[in-house]
Structure 1
Amino acid sequence: MPSLESEVLKSFLARLEETGEVSEALVERLRALLSGSKLPKAEQLVELFSSVSGGNLA
């Protein structure tokens, strides 16, 4: 039986894909990061989103 966390993650990523506001490639990379046994470090998420946006977001 899937855990609550995995169901929330699955739902979140599905909704993110449905919006079309982010690329499928970004969703897949995010899925890979969040599916690991450990949570990603903040720096990994910043790197992921800044590489997609073309630069620093802040």
Structure 2
Amino acid sequence: MIEKSMKQAKAFVELEGFTISAEHDELVKAILSRKITEDEFQKMVDNLMNKGKTIIE
């Protein structure tokens, strides 16, 4: 179910002209599969943004 949802979301984003890096893809999979908490997810997103990486590149 997660894989199907991820593929659909990724296809939608790509139709808009954006791409999602593998690093961001894995982060989203981790939160959706409950391997990390929402707080951990937010901290990781903040960390990526502080490194100059956006969720959608």
Q: TM-score, normalised by structure 1?
A: 0.47
> Greater relative contact order (Cα 8 A, min sep 6): structure 1 or 2?
2
> Which structure has the greater CA radius of gyration?
1
Q: TM-score, normalised by structure 2?
A: 0.48
